[in-house]
Amino acid sequence: MNSLAFGILAFMLGTYVLLDGFDLGVAAIAPLIGRNGAEREAAMRAIGPFWNGNEVWLIAAAGALFALFPKAYASAFSGFYLPFVIVLWLLMFRGIAMELRGHFATRIWRDFWDVAFTGSSALLVLLFGVALGNLIRGVPLDANGYFTGSFGFLLNPYALLVGATAVAALALHGATFAAMRIAGAPGERAATLVPKLAAALLVGFLATSAATAAIRWHDLPAAWTAVLPVVALIALGLAVRYALLRRAGAAFAASSVFLAAVFVSAAATLYPMLLPGFGGAKGIGIFDAAPSTAALVSAVAAVAVGVGIVCLYGTLILLPQFRENVTVDLNP
């Protein structure tokens, strides 16, 4: 049951990465594909039907962590409190940017919110990557499982490397989505960005993989997970190939496979730990962070129902819009 709970939580976070990843990526590259206000507005309109619903997965995952592994929830918030507050402000800021940008027609007003939209989204991705890097590296915990480090400790070279790689990965994901959704010059620019972003991502992916193997050499996951980096590299190559062939839908699918393979590999690296310890500290795993068996069974059932509702919402409400509104025409 504990492993099932871990799998459900990983599924929710992975789904969030895939879904909110493309709209964060589009926002991060908006200045590169939009040369003027109308083109940058097209980028916002391309993700407009999806971004709010995509963030439901992040909120649901936080709630699931509280229900399934309350001890890990308490420890995580004790150590990542300041980053979590920054993430909340950035999430609000990017939403405000999308809502307020069109309220006034002045150029200064719109340019300010364009910068806010891109900056908050790119910084969000960086922070998410830094958080993942610290989870894999381990965090200093005391005997009661509370964080004993500082915010500066979290900004270590390995975590920043993972954060930079995450920015490249979601920028690529956003570029494939923009190429598929936006008609005209911005979509073409997004397609031409894919090979460049893929080259940067390849460097970051190889460096991160080598650093992770060096850090976790004593606790590597099962041998079968070695196939996942290979799958990721193949998917990355296919994303570039399809982008060059202007098969935007296939490129987006390949980018999604890349992200899924990387995330499953990261989850396998962590399992069965939720918060690995750093420097010899005892971490928090799935077997000591869960409540009683009866409470865990109830929590898993409740979370599973919630996941089903969110999946139903995405299938019935978001997926039809994804299929029908394939492009955003700049010259209607």
Each residue's pLDDT tens digit, 258-309:
999 999 988 888 888 888 888 777 888 888 877 778 888 888 898 888 888 8
Q: Which residues contact 175 (CB under 8 A, 6 or more apart)?
A: 25, 26, 29, 33, 190, 191, 193, 194, 197, 243
Q: From the CA atom positions of the chain, what is the Rg in Å? A: 20
Greater model confidence, 154 or 319 = 154
**Does residue 332 carry a pLDDT above 50?**
no
Question: Hey, CA dihedral for 78, 53, 16, 44, is it positive or negative?
Answer: negative
The whole domain housing 207 covers 2-324
Residue 330 lies in a domain: no
pLDDT in tens, 119-138: 999 999 999 999 999 888 88
Instruction: Provide the greatest CA pair distance for the chain.
Output: 63
CB 30 within 8 A of CB 118: yes
User: What average pLDDT does this structure show over 219-241?
Assistant: 82
Residue 140 lies in a domain: yes
pLDDT the model gives residue 304: 87
CB 172 within 8 A of CB 198: yes
Residue 329 lies in a domain: no
pLDDT the model gives residue 288: 81
pLDDT the model gives residue 217: 67
pLDDT in tens, 158-189: 999 999 999 999 999 999 999 988 888 888 99
| Distance between start and end Cα atoms, the chain | 53
The continuous run of DSSP H or E covering 275 comes out as: strand 273-275
Question: What's the chain's average pLDDT?
Answer: 86
Residue 47 lies in a domain: yes
Greater model confidence, 327 or 250 = 250
- Tell me if residue 277 falls in helix, strand or coil: strand
Residue 331 lies in a domain: no
Least confident of 187-196, 256-265, 307-316: 307-316
Residue 249 lies in a domain: yes
Least confident of 63-77, 166-180, 216-230, 277-291: 216-230
State how many domains the chain has: 1
User: What average pLDDT does this structure show over 42-63?
Assistant: 84
Least confident of 3-7, 30-34, 141-145, 236-240: 141-145
The residues facing 147 across adjacent strands are: 141
**pTM, full prediction:** 0.90
Residue 332 lies in a domain: no
pLDDT the model gives residue 247: 92
pLDDT the model gives residue 225: 66
- Tell me if residue 155 falls in helix, strand or coil: coil
